[in-house]
């Protein structure tokens, strides 16, 4: 197996894992999410050593980047929904974010 075909294979595996992650997010399946995270970590370690993408690998990497971005947006939307529900339960108002001390800090708008 050449380096290029090994990289293409790892990128195809990453696409499959990202699809598994998307399905796990949609189903709220924590076990599948955990497995997807472990698999992504292992594949990232393999991809860390890659260099010099050919056209096939470049296209696969771009597809994986887009799938990862879609999954990131789904995770953020789910987190925002949970925050909104928890805020509704506790009677707190919408939270604002501000930069303090070099990092992002949550700040309640309650008086």
Placement of tokens 């879609």 in the chain: 70
For residue 69, give the 3-state DSSP assignment: helix
Specify if 100 maps to a domain. no
**What is the Cα–Cα distance from 52 to 73, expressed in whole angstroms?**
29
Task: Quickly state the pLDDT bin for 108 (edges 50, 70, 90).
Answer: low
Weakest mean pLDDT among 22-31, 65-74, 83-92, 96-105: 96-105
Domain of residue 65 covers: 3-92
**What is the Cα–Cα distance from 21 to 108, expressed in whole angstroms?**
32
Specify if 98 maps to a domain. no
Specify if 110 maps to a domain. no
- How many domains is the chain partitioned into structurally? 1
Mean pLDDT of 77-92: 90
Specify if 61 maps to a domain. yes
pTM of the shown model: 0.74
The per-residue pLDDT for range 43-55, each reduced to its tens digit, is 999 898 877 789 9
Burial of 111 (0-12, 13-18, 19+ CB in 10 A): exposed
Contact 97, 105 (CB under 8 A): yes
Contact 15, 67 (CB under 8 A): yes
Position 111 pLDDT exceeds 50: no
Specify if 99 maps to a domain. no
């Amino acid at each position: 197996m050449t380096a290029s075909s090994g990289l293409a294979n790892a990128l195809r595996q990453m696409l499959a894992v990202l699809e598994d992650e998307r399905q796990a997010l949609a189903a709220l399946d924590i076990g599948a999410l955990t497995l997807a995270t472990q698999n992504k970590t292992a594949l990232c370690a393999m991809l860390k050593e890659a260099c010099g993408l050919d056209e096939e690998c470049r296209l696969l990497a771009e597809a994986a980047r887009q799938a990862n971005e879609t999954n990131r947006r789904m995770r953020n939307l789910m987190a925002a929904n949970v925050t909104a529900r928890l805020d509704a339960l506790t009677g707190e108002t919408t939270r604002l974010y501000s930069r303090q001390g070099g990092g992002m800090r949550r700040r309640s708008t309650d008086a």
